């Protein structure tokens, strides 16, 4: 039942306080509660609310370097299958992907829709980025145009360059350590050096988003922060495919932490 706490608490303030002051005070508290509930409703993920902007963005990423490859189309098709989209949702995804491929397509509104869908849930931001990274890396080393869109999305979702590096490292790619990672410049590729395939597996320090010179306490702190943000139990009603991605990332984070613990000899 949708209750107006503004009216209810104002009424109770008048009844029990017997004054205009208590009525106003009750109304103010109720207004704050109503505002918070309305914000939560706007930010709560709605079924399928991400499909259009997500697949439009994937189409834009695929086309950003001039052509859409078979590998990029295959990534989109696998994603549709893994997400278990209905026939109607699949058609929505295909239409959105094709719209994103159009030369005049502007990625900003799609990114803004995803930002609103994610809201304050950073644990929802990472699965969205993970999906886009699959398309960015579909052909190997990504073109700067692809990275520009990815970083614009990360910035909108309040995910730092270092956190984005960690997500890419979990997929076997890493940025050049000498690159200039400024907190600005999203969308123009500043400071980006094309990654090289990491054949020995992701660097555990990159996965945790820390340098090798940090102390043990900083390692533990970074691990606790990351595992809390990526734990699949916190993802609520996200699609099963995104939950599995979160589980895979959580496993990578745990594995990286165990490697560092073994290397440093702490528990």
Q: What is the pLDDT of residues 29-68, one digit of tens each?
A: 777 766 665 554 444 444 457 889 999 999 999 999 998 9
265: left (phi over 0), alpha (psi -120 to 50) or beta: left
pLDDT of residue 84: 80
pLDDT over 80 (residue 267) = no
Alpha helix positions (H), the chain: 5-17, 20-43, 51-63, 70-82, 87-101, 107-118, 122-136, 144-156, 161-169, 204-208, 216-230, 240-264
215 and 175 in a common domain:
yes
Half-sphere exposure for 256 (CA within 13 Å, toward CB)? 30
17 and 104 fall within a common domain = no
230, with CB counted inside 10 A (0-12, 13-18, 19+), is: buried
Count of domains observed in the chain = 2
Are the beta carbons of 28 and 10 closer than 8 angstroms? no
Do 80 and 123 fall within a single domain? yes
Tokens of 7: 């009216």
**What's the whole-number mean pLDDT along residues 210-217?**
84
Split at pLDDT 50, 70, 90, the class of 247 is confident
**Domain of 80, in residue numbers:** 51-264
pLDDT at residue 191 above 70?
A: no
Convert the pLDDT of each residue in 64-91 to its tens digit: 999 899 999 999 998 888 888 888 889 9
Same domain, 92 and 128: yes
35, 108: one domain:
no
Q: Are residues 113 and 207 in the same domain?
A: yes
Residues pairing with 173 in the sheet = 197
Same domain, 238 and 109: yes
Same domain, 26 and 127: no
Q: Does 92 share its domain with 136?
A: yes
Q: How far is CA 132 from CA 44, 121, 122, 219, in A?
A: 21, 17, 16, 28
pLDDT greater than 90 at residue 171: no
Residues 153 and 219 in one domain: yes
Average pLDDT over residues 236-243: 62
Q: Residue 244 pLDDT > 80, yes or no? A: no
Q: Tell me the pLDDT of the chain averaged across its residues.
A: 76
Q: What is the pLDDT of residue 254?
A: 83
Query: Mean pLDDT over residues 209-236, rounded?
Result: 77
95 & 10 share domain: no
pLDDT above 90 coverage of the chain, percent = 23
Stretch 11-37: mean pLDDT: 74
pLDDT digits (tens, 9 = 90+) for 102-150: 988 999 999 999 998 888 777 778 888 988 998 998 888 888 999 999 9
Q: Tell me the pLDDT band of 233, cut-offs 50, 70 and 90.
A: low
Residues 160 and 235 in one domain: yes
Examine the pLDDT at 14 and tell me if it is beyond 90. Answer: no
């Amino acid at each position: 039942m949708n209750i107006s706490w503004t009216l209810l608490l104002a009424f109770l303030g008048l009844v029990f306080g017997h004054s205009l002051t208590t009525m106003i005070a009750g109304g103010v508290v109720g207004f704050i509660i109503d505002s918070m509930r309305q914000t939560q409703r706007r930010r709560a993920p709605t079924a399928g609310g991400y499909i259009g902007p997500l697949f439009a963005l994937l189409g834009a990423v695929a086309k950003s370097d001039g052509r859409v490859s078979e590998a990029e189309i295959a990534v989109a098709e696998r994603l549709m299958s893994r997400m278990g989209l209905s026939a109607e949702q699949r058609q929505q995804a295909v239409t959105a992907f094709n719209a994103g491929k159009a030369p005049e397509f502007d990625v900003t509104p799609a990114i803004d829709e995803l930002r609103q869908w994610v809201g304050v849930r950073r644990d929802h931001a990472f699965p969205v980025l993970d999906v886009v990274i699959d398309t960015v890396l579909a052909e190997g080393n990504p073109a700067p145009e692809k990275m520009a869109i990815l970083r614009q999305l990360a910035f909108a979702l309040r995910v730092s360059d270092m956190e984005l590096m960690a997500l890419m490292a979990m997929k076997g790619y890493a940025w050049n350590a000498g690159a200039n990672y400024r907190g600005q410049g999203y969308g123009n590729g500043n400071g980006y050096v094309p990654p090289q395939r990491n054949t020995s597996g992701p660097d555990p320090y990159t996965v945790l988003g820390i340098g090798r010179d940090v102390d043990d306490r900083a390692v533990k702190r970074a691990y606790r922060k990351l595992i809390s943000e990526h734990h699949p139990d916190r993802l609520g009603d996200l699609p099963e495919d995104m939950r599995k991605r979160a589980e895979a990332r959580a496993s990578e984070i745990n594995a990286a932490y165990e490697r560092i613990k073994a290397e440093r000899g702490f528990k």
